[in-house]
A and B are shown apart, each in its own frame.
Chain A
């Protein structure tokens, strides 16, 4: 399985600011994903991070709010822009490893005041 790290592990931010979350994988992977997990809730896919092209966003998520970069096959960033308290969540990156299998990073716990 892939080893995935995320930075920061947690942060407390002020309303109106932006935070960039990094996801690093120990091997080259074709597909990377960003999820949001609101407190006590399930996981919701934000977008698929495509290497060399724009991310593919799910319904309800837009690029202006959650810009994503994927400069190479081992790294991606998710920015949460113009934050509000409703953005307080755990943000998780995942990678596809092998046929259908998907592995998750440890998550970034974001609190917006």
Chain B
């Protein structure tokens, strides 16, 4: 049972465009939603995270939008750059056990 569904599997965006990656979750006990960025040969790096008490969080060019009633959240990358080309994973965590549940990942390619 996949508890966090991520789409699209891959995404190609032109430089300067907006990249949007969507995730949906099933478990209403989840209360922390991070996004990770992973470059080839590297470990995942925490990019930005949100809790259900807010609908949006922005850090630089990266924004998380959160819809609690729909159980969906998304990552928006504004002014996408070739250096943003990486695999992005959404994740969810709930309770006190620190167990992250990951989406399947989105391979983002930003063309120059």
Contacts and interface: CB of A to CB of B under 8 A. Distances in A.
Interface centre among B43, B45, B102, B104 (most CB of A within 10 A): B43
Given A31-B98, A45-B99, A106-B43, A100 B104 contact: no
B11 interface: no
Chain B interface main SS type = loop
A37 to B, nearest CB: 9
Interface string A19-59: 00000000000010100000001111100100000000000
Given A101-B34, A101-B49, A42 B102 contact: yes
A107 to B, nearest CB: 5
Given A96-B98, A102-B34, A107-B41, 18 more contacts: A42-B102, A42-B103, A42-B104, A42-B105, A43-B89, A43-B102, A45-B99, A45-B100, A48-B99, A100-B32, A100-B49, A100-B93, A102-B46, A102-B93, A102-B100, A104-B44, A105-B43, A106-B42
Interface of B: 32, 34, 36, 41-46, 49, 89, 93, 97-100, 102-105
